[in-house]
Amino acid sequence: MNLGRMVFAQLMDSLPLHEFHECVERYRGEYKVQQFSCLDQFLCMAFAQLTGRESLRDIEACLRSRRSKLYHMGIRSNVARNTLAHANEVRDWRIYADFAQVLIGIARDLYCDDPFRLELDNAIYALDSTTIDLCLSLFPWAKFRKTKGAVKMHTLLDVRTHIPTVAIITHGKVHDVNILDDLPLEPGAIYLLDRGYLDCARLYRIHQERAFFVTRTKSSTDLRRLYSHPVDKSTGVQCDQVVVFRNYYPHRDYPEKLRRVRYFDAALQKRLTFLTNNFTFPALIVAQLYQLRWQVELFFKWIKQHLRIKAFFGTSENAVKSQLWIAIAVYVLVAIVKKRLALSHSLYTILQILSVSLFEKTPILQVLSNENYVDSPDPLRRQLDLFE
């Protein structure tokens, strides 16, 4: 029964606690810890994400004002700013990285049967990165520019489910293309990459793993056409060709044939040229696949706007990575709850309702499924929403 339980506690019921404690044990997260467990730390940080807290002092003030309710929220220790700061500093960030992967696995299973606009059976992933600016004097480890610090969050997004399957956090000087060396590849999957990932040797590794890629060419890409296939230009496809790299080093790194598809986007009035190692999909499908890469950009924009990943509660590398992974875990947790409760509201709306309802003692389904509320997006707003 949810009667008399706070919304925050009902939301956290969806956490697989057994797997969480396994992650803690794996990295000895509670070695010599007598109070303020890793779960307490996670719940405090999740509260900060859901309510948009600005600082450790802000978290402490809000939770201490509800001291009598902390136990019922699942927080078994007193919340102090210094205690939370120390936990973020020393508790291994990999605890929360591994736990986020557990939640990602649950969410992907829940969303795997959702309808998809392309009739393809392959797994489809979009890879990209976003840069989070930091003050170099406060974050000296986050190397980026001479007078500027930053971290990059490299994310592989499952396009079908809108769930991030891989997230790699590095300092800002790491080039995007290097992430392809650490990326686990799935045979038969399709990887959507922008021009920053156009590296012949790394693309050939994808090909050798029996996976597919779709990327765009650069102006300097020199290709030799072997032969062309007929196309229907009324669809926007201008040409469908089999090509190879002309120059010695690119051809040495990628000795196999490639497919080049040119497409005219009438809406943008732009001609786009795609490269892929898949020779079976229709040319129009290749162009439509690349359009799906925009979803990873929407994911970055969404989490930057609605989660706390631009202002950090600690300055160490461990604290920053812990906060980023907990933010991803909260994002995926809310997506899980949305699916399990069969909610029709957007993820943005659910988070806004939760931000003002966490201390209410009302069944969470009643809070989140108010039939009198209807999402009414601003007609002037052009950004798309995830989980519509």
Q: Which residues contact 19 (CB under 8 A, 6 or more apart)?
A: 99, 102
- Which H helix or E strand runs over 170? strand 163-171
**Local structure of 146: helix, strand or coil:** coil
CA angle 344, 347, 351 (to 5 degrees): 115
Q: At what angle do helices 38-51 and 347-355 cross, to 10 degrees?
A: 110
Query: Are 77 and 41 within 8 A, CB to CB?
Result: no
Q: At what angle do helices 38-51 and 56-64 cross, to 10 degrees?
A: 100
Detail the DSSP E strand segments found in 186-286. 190-192, 212-216, 223-229, 237-245, 258-265, 270-276
Predicted local confidence at residue 371, as pLDDT? 52
User: DSSP letter string over 313-333?
Assistant: S--SHHHHHHHHHHHHHHHHH
Q: Up-side HSE of residue 184: CA atoms within 13 Å toward CB?
A: 5
Would you mind telling me the total number of residues written for the chain in this entry?
388
Query: Are 64 and 79 within 8 A, CB to CB?
Result: yes
Dihedral angle computed from the Cα positions of residues 222, 227, 228 and 229, in that order, rounded to the nearest 10 degrees:
-140
**Other CB atoms closer than 10 Å to residue 90's CB: what's the count?**
12
Can you give the pTM of this predicted structure?
Answer: 0.85
Predicted local confidence at residue 370, as pLDDT? 67
Q: Backbone phi, then psi, for 13, in 5-degree steps? A: -60, -20
Buried (b) or exposed (e) across 35-60, using 16+ Cβ within 10 A? Answer: ebbbbbbbbbbbbbbbbebeebeebb
Predicted local confidence at residue 3, as pLDDT? 57
Which pLDDT tens digits describe the chain residue by residue (388 residues)?
455 789 999 999 999 999 999 999 999 988 888 889 999 999 999 999 999 888 899 999 999 988 888 888 899 888 999 999 999 999 999 999 999 999 999 999 998 887 777 778 889 999 999 998 888 888 999 888 888 889 999 999 999 888 899 889 998 899 999 999 988 899 999 999 999 999 999 999 999 999 999 999 988 899 999 999 999 988 999 999 999 999 999 999 999 999 999 999 888 888 999 999 999 999 999 999 998 998 899 888 888 887 777 778 999 999 999 999 999 999 999 999 999 999 888 888 898 899 899 999 889 999 988 655 555 454 444 444 554 4
- Residue ranges of the domains in the chain? 194-283
